[in-house]
Structure 1
Amino acid sequence: MALVLLFTQKAISDGDGGAMEKDHIKGIIGAIVDYNSRIGKEEKVAMELAREDIYGYNNQSLVLHIKNSRRDPFQAALAADDLINMQQVEAIVGAQTWEEASLVAEICSQARIPILSFADATPQWATERWPFLYQASPNQYAQMKAVAAIIQSWEWYRVIVIYEDTESVATGVISPLSDALREVGAEINQLVALPPFASSSLSEELGKLKRGQCRVFVVHLSLPLALHLFKLAKEMEMMEDYVWITTDPITSLVHSINASSIDSMQGILGVKSYYPETGDHFHDFYHRFRQRFSLEYPKEDNHEPGKHAVQAYDAIRTIALAMGESNMGGSKKLLQKIFSSDFQGLSTKIQFTDRKLSPARIFQIINVMGKSYRELGFWSEGLGFSESIDKRATYDNSSMKTLGQILWPGGPLYTPRGWTVTSGGQVLKIGVPTGSTFKQFVDIVYDDHSENNFSFTGFSIEVFKATLENLPFHLPHKLIPFYGTYDQIVEEVYLKKFDAVVGDVSIVANRFRYAEFTQPYTEAGLVMIVPVRSRESNKAWLFMKPFTGAMWLLIVIINVYNGFVVWLIERNHCPDLKGPVLNQVGTLLWLSFSTLLSLNGLHSNLTRMTMLVWLFVVLVITQSYTANLTSMLTVQKLEPTVADVESLLYTNAMVGYCKGSYVRAYLETVIGFKRQNIKNFTLPEEFAQALRSREIEAVFLEAPLAKLLLAKYCKGFIEAGPRYKIGGFGFVFPRGSPLLPDVSEALLKVSESGKLRDLENSMAASETCSEVESNDEDHRLNPNSFWALFIITGGTSTVTLVIYVFCHRWNVHDSMHKHKTIWRLMLAVMKYWGYRKRPFSRRVSDTASPRSYPNASNSWAQV
C-alpha cells in the first residue's frame, strides 16, 4: 500500500493525474528544490503533505509540479521556464539560494507569475525590480545580532568569518554581522570566502588561519561544505582552544547529521531559528512527515523535520489559501491575496511586509555534544538570553553565561581565550618613541653588542618588563625604535606596522581613533612650573616666630608670678623693695627679670629654691628658642613668581612645553594661550635656562615629567596654579587587540604589588631633594612642648609661697583678731604703708598714738 501511495503521489506531482483529478483542479503550483540535498528532500516531502492537507481541509484540489535545480541557478531558471510554459503553473515556490531566486524572479516577473523564494536574504532593490518576488523565509538579520551577543558574552573582540563565496552571503550576512559586532565592541578580523563546492584549497585556507592569532570563527556555509571543513579542522588539530560558531544554514540541519560527521563538530556553538513545536497541527505534521520521509529516503539517518520543512509547508499553504480566495481572478488578484496573508503557520506568523515574511525575533542557542546537541537556551531580540521563552523567563541582555556549562571544542574546562599570542615563530613588533624629553623614561642607545643594535632603558621599559612577568603566558617581542612624533607612532599601530607601542605616550582622546591604551601607569595631570623667589615680608618680627603667642604669654605670666613670690619674701630683707606703690610695681617687674641673671643678693632659702628651678627652666627655653630661630633663618622661604594661569594670560606671557607632545594643542584650544606665545623645548636643561633668563614665565609639563624637573631643580622652580586632569602614560595596542585586557590586568598587578612604586622611587632617587615650602606654624614652639617645665617652676613657686605664709601665720592671726574683717585688714595695711613712708621725726606726733598699736611696726614688718 505504501508503494502504491508513493507512485500515486508521484503521478499527481508530475501532472499525470487522471480526468477525475483534472475536474477538481483549482490551482497548479510549481516548486524548484534540490533533490540531492537534505534541505530539498525535506521541502519536497513537506510540500506534498501540505497539498494533501489543503484538499482534506478545504476540499481544494491542487496539482504540484516539483523540479530539481541541483543547486544550480541555470538549472533553476530552466525549471522555472518549463513550469510556466509547459505546466501552466500559477505560482512557483522554492529557489533556496539568492542566485537561483534572482534568475527565477526575472522569468516569473516577465510571465507575471508570483514566486515565493526560500532565500534567507533578499536585497531591498530586488522587490522593486521584480514586483512578483516574495521572500517566504524570515529575514535573518537578527540572527547576526544573536551571534554578536554570543561573542560579547565571552569578551572576544575579533572574529574570522568563513562563508560561502556567493552574492547572497556577501550582501545578506557580512554587512549585518559587521554592524552587529561593531555595536558590541568587536570586529571582523578576517573574511575567508570558500567556493560553493569543497576543493583542495580548503586545507590551505585552514593552514593560514592556524598560523594566525585569532581563534574565534563564525561559519556560514552550506551543510556539505561545513562538514568537510570541520573534518579537516579536526585533522589539523584546530578544535581545542578554538571557538566555532555556526549559523542557521548549518545549525538548522544539525539534527540530520550522521554520527561520524557530528563527531568532528563536538563543542560547536550554533544559532538556530526557533519555531514552537507545539499544537495538534504541528504534532500531526511531525508524525506524518517522519513516516513519509523514512519511506522516500530510507538511507537518511534522521527523519525529523527541520526549519526548511515547516517553511515549505507554510509556503504551499499560503499560495493555496490565496488561490482559494482569489477565485481565479488572475495573477494580480493572486498577488494581492498573498500579500494580505495573515494566519498562524507551522513555523511563524505568516504576514508579509514589503513582500518579505516578518523577520525572526527568537533564536535557539545549541551546543553540539555526543551524537546530537544540547539546547542551551534562547536569544530574543531586545531582551537577550534566557533559559526559556515563557512569561516567567528571566532575561540577561549582556551575557549567555547564565545558560549553564558549555562543552567547548576539545573538552577543556576553561573558556577558550579566543586568540593566541603568536604562531609560527612570529614575534610582536613593539615600537619605542625616540623623542622623549626626559631620558629617565625612555633612553635608546646604539649598541653593537645588542641583538637589535639598540639597547632600551628607562622607567617605561622597566614597567613593561615587569608587566610581561605578570602575564599568564610568554610574549615574544622585539623592541624597534621609531623616529617620528608621538601621534605618528600611534598611527603606525593603526596601520599595523607595530603590534604595540611602549614608552612615555600620553593617553589622549583623539588618539583613540587609531588605537587603544592600557590603564595609565603614571600620575595623570598637566602641571605648571614657574621660578621661585624669596618671601621678604614680615622680617622685622622674625624674632617672635620661634614661639607661638600662647607660649610668649605663658612665659610672661610665669615670670611675673615668680618675681612676685621673690618680691614678697625678700622685701623684709631689702629696703629697696619698699616704698610707694608705683615703685613697688616697677621693682617687682625688674625683680622678675633681674633674678634670672644671678642668685646673689637673695636672703631667703625659699626664694633661692624658687629661682633655682626657674633658672633651669629658663635655660631650657632659651636654648630651644635659639635653636628654632637659627633653623628659621637657615631654611629659605620661597614662593612662586606666578600665582595662576590667569596672570599669564593677562600679561601675554611666553610659556613652554615639551616638543612633540599634545600639550601645545591643549594650551592653545583649552587654556587660551596665543600660538605665538607658546615655545617648545627638547631638553630639561633648556627649560631651566629659559625660566631663569625669563625667556618664558612658565612651563607646562605632564605630572610625571614635572616631578623629574622639580627633583633636578628643586631650589629654583616650584609647581603653581591648578592641575589639569588629563594625560597619563600608557601602553598602546591596536583597537580590539586581544592582548589589551591581559596586559591591563598584568599592569594592575605590578601597581598593586608595590613594584611600580619602587621603580618610580628608583628613577628619581638620584635627583630628589627636600621640599621647598615649609609651614611656619609647623616649626613654632608652643606650650605643649614645655608644659611639664612650667608646672614644675610654677608649682615650686607656689609651694614656697605657701610655706612662707604658714610660717608667719601667728602674725596674720593677730592682725585678724584686731581687725575683724578683711576690709579693716586692708585699711590697716594701707595705713601702715602710709606710716612707714613718713619721716621718723613726724611719727611721734601722728594722730594715732603708738600705744594704740602695740608692736605694730615689728608685726607688719614681719608680715
Structure 2
Amino acid sequence: MAYKRSSINEFLVTFVFLFLLSLLSAKLTMASVTRRVQIITSNTSAIGTIMDMKSRAGKEARVAMEIAIDDFNARTSQNMTLYIRNSKGSLVGAMLEATYLIDTHKVEAFLGLYTMEQVLSIGEIGSKYQIPTFSLFDSVPKRALDRFPFLFQASPSQFGQMKAFVAIMESFRWNHFTFIYEDISSASAEIIHHLMKTIKQSGVQMDNMVKLSPLASSSSLTKELERINMEQCRVFLVHASLETGVRLFQNAKTMGMMEKGYVWITTNLITDLLHTVNSSTFLTMEGVVGIGSFVTDTSSQFQDFSTKFQTKFKIEQPEETDNMPGIFAVHAYDATWIASLALSKKNMSGKRLLDTVSSISFSGITGEVQFVNKKLTAAHRFRIINVIGKYYREVGFWSEGLGFSEAVNDKAAYDTSLQSLGHIFWPGRPLHTPQGRVVPTSINPLRVGVPTMAVFKKFVEVKYDHMHHNFTCIGYSIELFKETVKRLPYYLSYEFHPFNGSYDSLVEQVYLKKFDAVVGDVSVVSRRYQYAEFTHPYTETGLMMVVPVISHHEQWLFVKPFTLSMWALTIVIYIYNGFVLWLIERKHSPELQGSALNQAGILLCLSFTRLFSLNGDQLNNNLTRMVTVAWLFVAIIVGQCYTASLTSMLTVRSLAPKVADYETLKNTNAAVGYGRGAHVASYLVDVLGFKNENIRDFTSPDEYAHALQNKEIAAVFLEAPFSKLFLARYCKSFIVADTFGEGGFAFVLPKGSFMVTDFTKALLNVSESGTLQNIEKRMLGSEQCVDMESVHDEYGRLGLSSFWTLFILTGGTTTLALAIHVIITLRHRSFQMLDNCILCIKRDNSPRT
C-alpha cells in the first residue's frame, strides 16, 4: 500500500512539474537561443550527466565518464567540463536535475538515462532545447527516437543475445524453456518481442512466461517457482535485475531447484554484474550459465582504461569490493567521447548538429563506434560464462553467423555447438548434460486422453463398469501404446482418461494442458499441429471413398475358359476326326452318302455330334471304333475341364464401383457418410466441396452398411485402417472407388515435447521387432477376409499346354486309322484291278463260239 501511495505522489509531482514546464516553454525557448549564442562564443563546453549514483551501473559510469573527459581534453586540447547530478532513482528528480543543468551550467549535451522513463522525459527536454541527449539505455524504442530528434542511443542494443540463447538451446537439443522476466519498465515488452521473433525462426518453444515484480516478496517468488516446478520443462531463461535475480536463485535453492536436472540461463542484466557479487551469492547460483555483453579486454586501449579505472574507482567507491570495470563503465566511456566529439564543433546547431552526431565514427574501447538510425551498431558477439564454486569462468564467446569459440579472432575455431568449448558445470554438477525436462513419475503420471465415441471399437473402446464405477480401455491403439511405453528409454507412468467429444476437441485438450497425451484412432491432420504434435503414424495413410458394387457377367463369358489357340486346335481336331469317321464309314452307312453339298453338311455335323450319338454297335469298321474310343476319351476330359472352368467363372462375380468418383456424387447432390466426431466432415466440406446438408454421420460399421444398402447415402468416407476393416466384413457388397491423402493414425503429444522423438523411436522398434504385426494380427485379424480375385485373366484360362498329350493321342490314333484305311483301300483296289485284269485276259483267251 505504501508503494502505491508513493507512486501516486510521484505522479502528482511529475504532473505539476510538466504543467509548469509547459507554461515556461516559450520563455525557455527564447532563453535557449540566447544561451546558444553565449556558448558559441565561449571556449568551454559543458556536458551534463544524470544517473542513480547508488547503483553499481551509476558508480561505474561516473568514474568512466570522468576518465573519458580527462583523456579527451588531453588528446584534443579541448576544454570539456562534466557536470554530474544524482537522480536517486527518481523520475521527478531526474527531470529537476536536467532543468538545473540547463539553467545553471548551460550544458550542451546530456549523458546517462538508464531507464525508459528517463529516456522519454529527458529526451523531450533535450529536444526542446536542441541539446543532444545520449542515452546509455540499450533498448530505446524507435518511436522515441523518431519523436525526439536530439535523442540518441549511445549504448549498443543487446537483443542479439536472444539468438545466442537459442544457439545454446540447440547445442544441447532442448526444445522447451520457461521465460522468467522482471517487469522493470516498458522495455520488457521489447525484449519479449525480440525473444518471440527469434524462437519463431527456430525449433525452440516457450512453455511458460513468468512476470516478476521488482518488489516481489519471497513468498510470491516461491509461489511462482512452485508453479513452474510442476511442469515438465526444466530450462529457465532469467531476464531480471541482479537484485531480483539473486533473490530468485536463493528461493530456488531452498526449494531444491538448483540441483541435478535443472538448467538456469541468465541474460546480460545479471551476467554483466556478476563481478560485483560476493562468494555466497556464487554458491547460490552454482551451475548457472550466463550470456553477457562482450568487450575486447586485451587491447592496449582497454588495458590503459582499466588501470585508470581501478585506481580511481577504489578511491571514490571504497565500499565496493571489486574494482574491475564492467560493461557499464566501458559504454559510458565511449558515450562520453561521442558527446565530446559532437560538442567540439562549436559552430554547429540544429539539423547540422544532428548530422554531425550521426556521422561520428571512431575506434572506442568497445570497438568501432558508429551510429545507424540514431543507434549505435547492435552487438553481435556475446560472452558465455559458467558459475562454478565461489566465482565464474568465461567459457567462450558466441558470434552471430559464426557460432561458439574460445578465441574471438580465430574464425577456424568456431563451432555451432557450445559443447565444443568443453564441459559445462550445471546445477548439482551432474556427469551428463541435463535433458531439460522431467519425466512424469508415479506421483504425477502422464494424463492420457482416450476417445469414447470411436466408431470402430477394435481400435479403441472404453468399457464402463457401472457396478464398480470404473472403466477399462481396450483396442489395437491401446495395446500398441502400452507396448511402445515399454520400449521408452525411461520409466513412464500413465493413466487413461475418457473423453466424450470430437477428435479436434480431444487434441485441443493437450494444448489446454488438460491431457499430456492422446491415444486412439486420431488422424494426423495439418490444422491440429497448432495444438499438438504427432508421432510417426502407426497405420497406413489415406482417406477412402467406399461405395456399393455392381455385379455383371460378360456376354462372351462362355468362351473364356479356353484360350484362342485351344479353341482353334479343338475345332481342327473335331473336324479332322469327323472327316476320318465319314471317310471310313461312308461305304457302310447310306446316310453318309449323297451329293457333295450334303456330304459337307454331314461332315460338319458328324464332327460335333456323331461322336456322342454313334454307339459302338453302329460302327462297321474296327478303325472307326479305335478313332471313336480315343476321341471320346479326350472329349470327355476336355469337356469336363471346360465345364469346371466355366462354372468357376460364373460363380465369381466381377465387382465394379457403383460410383466412380466423388465429383459425380457432388454434382448429383448425393448424400455421403462419415464417422461421428472425425475430422472427415470438415475435409468433405472444405476440401472436396460437399454441402453440409448432404453429409450424414454414423456411429457404427453396421449403420454404414445399412445406409448404403438402403440408398440413404451413396458413399461413405473412411480412413484407410477403417476401410480395411469395413471391407473385410462386407467384402462382397462394397468397394473402394477413390482415395485421398490423409496422415494415418498417430499418438498425440504436446507441441515440442521431448517425448515425440522418444515415442517415434519406440514405435519403430515395435514395428521392426515384429511386435506390431503380432498385435495387428491378434487385435484386427478376426476381421480379415481373403480377396476374391477374378479368373478372367490369361493365367486362369485353359490352354494347349494342359492338353498336348490328349490331342496327340486322338490325333495320332485318327491319323493311324486313316493311314491303315488308305492302305487297305489301296490294296483292295489293287487286288480288284488285278482280278479285273485276269478276268479280262481270261475272256480274251477263251474259245469263241
Find the counterpart in structure 1 of residue 336 from structure 2. 316
Instruction: Note if 1:229 corresponds to 2:248.
Output: yes
Identity %: 43
In structure 2, do the counterparts of structure 1 residues 649 and 301 end up closer, same or farther at CA, with 3 Å as the change threshold?
Answer: same
2:376 to 357, 360, 364: 357
Find the counterpart in structure 2 of residue 54 from structure 1. 72
Q: CA separation in 2, counterparts of 1:176 and 1:307?
A: 22
Q: CA separation in 2, counterparts of 1:599 and 1:154?
A: 98
| Stretches of structure 1 lacking an aligned partner (at least 5 in a row) | 1-22, 809-828, 850-863
Quote how far apart the aligned CAs of 1:217 are: 0.9
Quote how far apart the aligned CAs of 1:221 are: 1.9
Q: CA separation in 2, counterparts of 1:837 and 1:158?
A: 114
In structure 2, do the counterparts of structure 1 residues 251 and 449 end up closer, same or farther at CA, with 3 Å as the change threshold?
Answer: farther
Find the counterpart in structure 1 of residue 257 from structure 2. 238
Quote how far apart the aligned CAs of 1:796 are: 13
Quote how far apart the aligned CAs of 1:723 are: 0.6
2:82 to 64, 67, 73: 64
In structure 2, do the counterparts of structure 1 residues 137 and 763 end up closer, same or farther at CA, with 3 Å as the change threshold?
Answer: same
Q: 1:752-773 deviations in whole A, cap 9, x for unaligned?
A: 4333333333343333322144
Q: 1:502-546 deviations in whole A, cap 9, x for unaligned?
A: 3323333333344433333322222122222332213xx545444
Instruction: Note if 1:248 corresponds to 2:263.
Output: no
Q: CA separation in 1, counterparts of 2:121 and 2:337?
A: 24
Give the secondary-structure state (helix, strand or coil) at the position aligned to 1:770: coil
Q: CA separation in 1, counterparts of 2:72 and 2:140?
A: 28
Quote how far apart the aligned CAs of 1:745 are: 3.6
Instruction: Note if 1:486 corresponds to 2:503.
Output: yes
Instruction: Note if 1:655 corresponds to 2:672.
Output: yes
Contact 2:115–2:185 under 8 Å retained in 1: no
Find the counterpart in structure 1 of residue 563 from structure 2. 548
Q: CA separation in 1, counterparts of 2:71 and 2:87?
A: 25
Instruction: Note if 1:462 corresponds to 2:482.
Output: no
Task: List aligned pairs for 1:532-571, cutoff 5 A.
Answer: 532-538=549-555, 542-551=557-566
Find the counterpart in structure 1 of residue 522 from structure 2. 505
Contact 1:369–1:407 under 8 Å retained in 2: yes
In structure 2, do the counterparts of structure 1 residues 675 and 337 end up closer, same or farther at CA, with 3 Å as the change threshold?
Answer: closer
Find the counterpart in structure 1 of residue 775 from structure 2. 759
Q: 1:676-705 deviations in whole A, cap 9, x for unaligned?
A: 443333332222122222233322222222
Give the secondary-structure state (helix, strand or coil) at the position aligned to 1:51: helix
Contact 2:234–2:436 under 8 Å retained in 1: yes
Quote how far apart the aligned CAs of 1:28 are: 2.8
Instruction: Note if 1:446 corresponds to 2:446.
Output: no
Find the counterpart in structure 1 of residue 837 from structure 2. 844
Contact 1:386–1:394 under 8 Å retained in 2: yes
Instruction: Note if 1:208 corresponds to 2:208.
Output: no
Find the counterpart in structure 2 of residue 274 from structure 1. 294
Q: CA separation in 2, counterparts of 1:93 and 1:670?
A: 62
Find the counterpart in structure 2 of residue 127 from structure 1. 145
Contact 2:177–2:208 under 8 Å retained in 1: yes
Q: CA separation in 2, counterparts of 1:347 and 1:482?
A: 60
Contact 2:484–2:762 under 8 Å retained in 1: yes
Contact 2:544–2:740 under 8 Å retained in 1: yes
1:682 to 684, 690, 699: 699
Contact 2:674–2:716 under 8 Å retained in 1: yes
Find the counterpart in structure 1 of residue 784 from structure 2. 768
Give the secondary-structure state (helix, strand or coil) at the position aligned to 1:529: strand
Task: List aligned pairs for 1:91-102, cutoff 5 A.
Answer: 91-102=109-120
Instruction: Note if 1:702 corresponds to 2:719.
Output: yes
Q: CA separation in 2, counterparts of 1:846 and 1:135?
A: 150
Contact 2:286–2:387 under 8 Å retained in 1: yes
Quote how far apart the aligned CAs of 1:116 are: 1.8
Contact 1:94–1:118 under 8 Å retained in 2: yes
Task: List aligned pairs for 1:212-611, cutoff 5 A.
Answer: 212-239=231-258, 240-277=260-297, 279-293=299-313, 303-326=323-346, 337-369=356-388, 371-380=391-400, 392-393=411-412, 406-422=424-440, 425-448=443-466, 453-538=470-555, 542-551=557-566
Task: List aligned pairs for 1:824-863, cutoff 5 A.
Answer: 836=829, 840=833, 844=837
Give the secondary-structure state (helix, strand or coil) at the position aligned to 2:722: helix
Give the secondary-structure state (helix, strand or coil) at the position aligned to 1:311: helix
Q: 1:468-510 deviations in whole A, cap 9, x for unaligned?
A: 3333334444433333333333344444444433332333333
- TM-score, normalised with respect to structure 1: 0.77
1:44 to 62, 68, 92: 62
Contact 2:553–2:653 under 8 Å retained in 1: no
2:683 to 645, 659, 666: 666
Find the counterpart in structure 2 of residue 20 from structure 1. none
In structure 2, do the counterparts of structure 1 residues 764 and 198 end up closer, same or farther at CA, with 3 Å as the change threshold?
Answer: closer
In structure 2, do the counterparts of structure 1 residues 413 and 549 end up closer, same or farther at CA, with 3 Å as the change threshold?
Answer: farther
Task: List aligned pairs for 1:178-197, cutoff 5 A.
Answer: 178-196=196-214
2:177 to 144, 147, 159: 159
Give the secondary-structure state (helix, strand or coil) at the position aligned to 1:28: strand
Find the counterpart in structure 2 of residue 750 from structure 1. 766
Find the counterpart in structure 1 of residue 23 from structure 2. none
Quote how far apart the aligned CAs of 1:325 are: 1.7
Contact 1:198–1:228 under 8 Å retained in 2: no
Contact 1:506–1:728 under 8 Å retained in 2: yes
Quote how far apart the aligned CAs of 1:256 are: 4.9
Find the counterpart in structure 2 of residue 9 from structure 1. none
1:644 to 654, 661, 665: 661
Which letter does structure 2 place at the counterpart of 1:219? V
Quote how far apart the aligned CAs of 1:380 are: 1.0
Give the secondary-structure state (helix, strand or coil) at the position aligned to 2:787: coil
Length, aligned pairs only = 792
Q: 1:10-57 deviations in whole A, cap 9, x for unaligned?
A: xxxxxxxxxxxxx99722333344545443343233223212211221
Q: 1:592-621 deviations in whole A, cap 9, x for unaligned?
A: 99999999999999x99x999999998876
Contact 1:74–1:100 under 8 Å retained in 2: no
Q: CA separation in 1, counterparts of 2:112 and 2:212?
A: 24
Contact 2:447–2:496 under 8 Å retained in 1: yes
Contact 1:114–1:331 under 8 Å retained in 2: no
Contact 2:791–2:797 under 8 Å retained in 1: no
Q: CA separation in 1, counterparts of 2:130 and 2:604?
A: 131
Higher alpha-carbon deviation: 593-602 or 674-683 = 593-602
Contact 2:179–2:209 under 8 Å retained in 1: yes
Higher alpha-carbon deviation: 685-694 or 228-237 = 228-237
| Stretches of structure 2 lacking an aligned partner (at least 5 in a row) | 1-40, 842-849
In structure 2, do the counterparts of structure 1 residues 556 and 143 end up closer, same or farther at CA, with 3 Å as the change threshold?
Answer: same
In structure 2, do the counterparts of structure 1 residues 766 and 55 end up closer, same or farther at CA, with 3 Å as the change threshold?
Answer: same
Give the secondary-structure state (helix, strand or coil) at the position aligned to 1:730: coil
In structure 2, do the counterparts of structure 1 residues 116 and 518 end up closer, same or farther at CA, with 3 Å as the change threshold?
Answer: same
Find the counterpart in structure 2 of residue 148 from structure 1. 166
Q: CA separation in 2, counterparts of 1:238 and 1:555?
A: 93
Which letter does structure 2 place at the counterpart of 1:222? S
- TM-score, normalised with respect to structure 2: 0.78
Contact 1:563–1:593 under 8 Å retained in 2: no
Give the secondary-structure state (helix, strand or coil) at the position aligned to 1:350: strand
Find the counterpart in structure 1 of residue 735 from structure 2. 718
Give the secondary-structure state (helix, strand or coil) at the position aligned to 1:709: helix
Contact 1:637–1:772 under 8 Å retained in 2: no
Aligned-residue CA RMSD (Å): 5.0
Q: CA separation in 1, counterparts of 2:451 and 2:478?
A: 11
Q: CA separation in 2, counterparts of 1:161 and 1:423?
A: 24
